């Protein structure tokens, strides 16, 4: 999904674009209103983040133009503190939501998800990995077995997600160590055995079928049968 950021403040652009890239979005950037207009109208973006105070064309005018020509593109306006009139005008001009600067990326991301869901149905629905009755919600990083919530530590979760994404593949201790732990962190591979045991206690001990198997001499595998 490609998102457009129309914003002239490099710091804001850098925070938003880094966050969105990490979340798996493609990000296009327009540093002023004129470039923003040209990019917004000549492409189909999944969502546009629009600053109000912009060189060229201001965000309020630009929002109106975008919404006239691309009514199905959601727009979030960014505004500086204390300019409530701007916010009202932005919403009058068709903006779907707004955020007041300074804001936390998490807050912006939550608004983006909500809007994308509203506009495109299941396009950004939560990603679930299911193996037998084990359910891993990769978006929320939550785990259930037999519909019971299981609390994992961050490391246990990373280990489980890595094994689940490589379902039915035998993973060597080195594969696991390099993917789940920082490679520069100098640990022996027995840390893998220790954590696989922690994970077994939480996701397998009280449930059937057992999902984590030992491949003797090779490593571990997560699979149904």
Alpha carbon distance 225, 212 (integer Å): 10
Q: Does 8 interact with Ca ion (rule: CB under 5 A)?
A: yes
Min. distance of Cβ 142 from Ca ion in angstroms? 37
Alpha carbon distance 170, 163 (integer Å): 9
Min. distance of Cβ 78 from Ca ion in angstroms? 8
Please, is 78 exposed, middle or buried when counting C-beta atoms within 10 Å of its C-beta (0-12, 13-18, 19+)? Answer: buried
Among 53, 100, 129, 170, contact with Ca ion (rule: CB under 5 A): 53
Min. distance of Cβ 88 from Ca ion in angstroms? 19
Among candidate residues 205, 181, 206, 182, the one with its CA nearest the CA of residue 192 = 181
Nearer to Ca ion, 78 or 160 (CB): 78
Q: Does 99 interact with Ca ion (rule: CB under 5 A)?
A: no
Choices 3-11, 27-35, 62-70, 137-145 (CB under 5 A): range interacting with Ca ion: 3-11
Number of alpha helices (DSSP H) and beta strands (DSSP E) in the chain: 8, 11
Q: Does 51 interact with Ca ion (rule: CB under 5 A)?
A: yes
Min. distance of Cβ 42 from Ca ion in angstroms? 22
Min. distance of Cβ 212 from Ca ion in angstroms? 52
Task: Kindly state the DSSP code that residue 141 receives in the 8-state scheme.
Answer: T
Among candidate residues 123, 138, 140, the one with its CA nearest the CA of residue 3 = 123
Among candidate residues 106, 8, 15, 2, the one with its CA nearest the CA of residue 50 = 8
Nearer to Ca ion, 78 or 115 (CB): 78
Count residues contacting Ca ion (CB under 5 A)?
3
Binding site for Ca ion (CB under 5 A): 8, 51, 53
């Amino acid at each position: 999904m490609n998102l457009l950021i129309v914003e002239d403040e490099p710091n804001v652009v850098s925070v938003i674009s880094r966050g969105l890239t990490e979340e798996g979005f493609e990000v296009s950037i327009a540093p002023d209103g004129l470039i923003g207009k040209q990019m917004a109208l000549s492409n189909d973006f999944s969502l546009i983040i629009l600053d109000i105070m912009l060189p060229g064309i201001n965000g309020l005018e630009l929002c109106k133009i975008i919404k006239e020509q691309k009514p199905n593109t959601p727009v979030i306006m960014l505004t500086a503190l204390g300019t409530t009139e701007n916010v009202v005008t932005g919403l009058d001009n068709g903006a779907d939501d707004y955020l007041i600067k300074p804001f936390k990326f998490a807050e912006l991301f939550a608004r983006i998800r909500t809007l994308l869901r509203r506009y495109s149905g299941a396009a950004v629905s939560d990603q679930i990995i299911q193996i037998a009755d084990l359910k891993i919600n990769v978006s929320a990083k939550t785990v259930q077995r037999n519909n019971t919530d299981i609390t994992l530590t961050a490391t246990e979760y990373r280990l489980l997600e890595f094994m689940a994404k490589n379902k039915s593949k035998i993973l060597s201790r080195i594969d696991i160590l390099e993917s789940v732990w920082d490679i520069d962190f100098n640990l022996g591979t027995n840390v893998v055995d220790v954590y696989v045991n922690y994970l077994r206690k939480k996701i397998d001990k009280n449930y059937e079928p057992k999902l984590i198997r030992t491949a003797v001499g090779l490593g571990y595998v997560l699979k149904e049968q």
